[in-house]
């Protein structure tokens, strides 16, 4: 942390040492302290964007990005993140713009990362629609699992799930949604979708848009028996794709070829 002068820095550090067991790292000034926080978020932003772009490369090459990344990360200098349908919340999607809108320096890498993120909801929806078209169903029913921007966090700001719901509506499908952290009224207020818990869904496809722990414990066997077409697109690396395929699901995830 840093203050506007040495005295303010020492005063704030003394206060935070009382409430923060991990301690305080003083820096030169307030601008430096702000840059530390913003740059840390931008680092994650750029590296997740890299993971997403490489995941799309893996889909085209017909290989599994999770397998590739996991083995690559056995090297001490490789820290590839897991790909997904996008990022949200009030930090990572916002911090890059603090820099891009403030400085005259080249920020093209940050801009490209944002462009990649903006494309991910469309990518997972396109993947799902391709799978649905193969069924011949005229107006498919799709359940979006998760509306918050990440698992275990009750926050929908900039959540890619909301864009996914919007795109599905544009495709003319019947969209249903469920989030274990949101009630029926909240779900239907923040997304143009009807509330539907997974244990009552009997439609065509499930798209996982948030990595809630509850989704890892779903009874997929029971859900599959109710579904008309057993299609699952995992946008958050939640399910065991191979296990669901053995159960008769047409299942894929970001970074994996459909079939």
> What are the backbone dihedrals phi and psi of residue 192, each rounded to the nearest 5 degrees, phi first?
-80, 70
Residue the block writes with tokens 């290989």 = 63
Known catalytic residue at 141: no
Of 250, 247, 214, the C-alpha closest to 229 is 250
Contact 179, 143 (CB under 8 A): no
CA dist., res. 232 & res. 48, Å (int)? 23
User: For 233, which DSSP code?
Assistant: E
> Which position among 17, 21, 58, 91 bears the catalytic label?
91
Known catalytic residue at 163: no
Q: Is residue 44 exposed (0-12), middle (13-18) or buried (19+ Cβ within 10 Å)? A: middle
> Which position among 17, 21, 22, 37 bears the catalytic label?
37
Of 77, 167, 63, the C-alpha closest to 122 is 167
Show which residues are catalytic. 37, 91
């Amino acid at each position: 942390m840093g203050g506007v002068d040495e005295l303010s820095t020492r005063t704030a550090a003394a206060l935070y040492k009382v409430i923060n067991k991990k301690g305080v790292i003083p820096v030169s000034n307030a601008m430096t302290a702000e840059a530390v926080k913003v740059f840390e978020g931008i680092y994650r932003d750029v590296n997740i964007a890299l993971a997403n772009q490489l995941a799309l490369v893996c889909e085209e090459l017909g290989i599994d990005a999770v397998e590739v990344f996991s083995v690559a990360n056995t090297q001490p200098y490789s820290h590839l993140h897991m790909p997904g349908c996008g990022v949200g919340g009030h930090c990572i999607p916002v911090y890059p713009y603090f820099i891009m809108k403030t400085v005259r320096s080249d920020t093209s890498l940050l801009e490209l990362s944002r462009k990649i993120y903006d494309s991910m909801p469309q990518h997972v929806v396109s993947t799902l629609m391709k799978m649905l078209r193969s069924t011949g169903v005229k107006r498919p029913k799709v359940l979006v699992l998760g509306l918050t921007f990440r698992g275990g966090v009750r926050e929908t700001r900039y959540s890619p799930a909301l864009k996914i719901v919007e795109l599905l509506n544009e495709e003319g499908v019947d969209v249903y949604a469920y989030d274990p952290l949101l009630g029926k009224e909240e779900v239907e207020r923040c997304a143009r979708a009807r509330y539907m818990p997974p244990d009552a869904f009997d439609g065509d496809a499930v798209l996982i848009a948030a990595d809630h722990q509850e989704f890892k414990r779903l009874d997929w066997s029971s859900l599959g028996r109710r579904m008309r077409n057993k299609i699952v697109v995992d946008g958050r690396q939640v399910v065991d794709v191979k296990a669901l395929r053995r159960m008769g699901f047409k299942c894929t995830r970001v970074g994996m070829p459909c079939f």
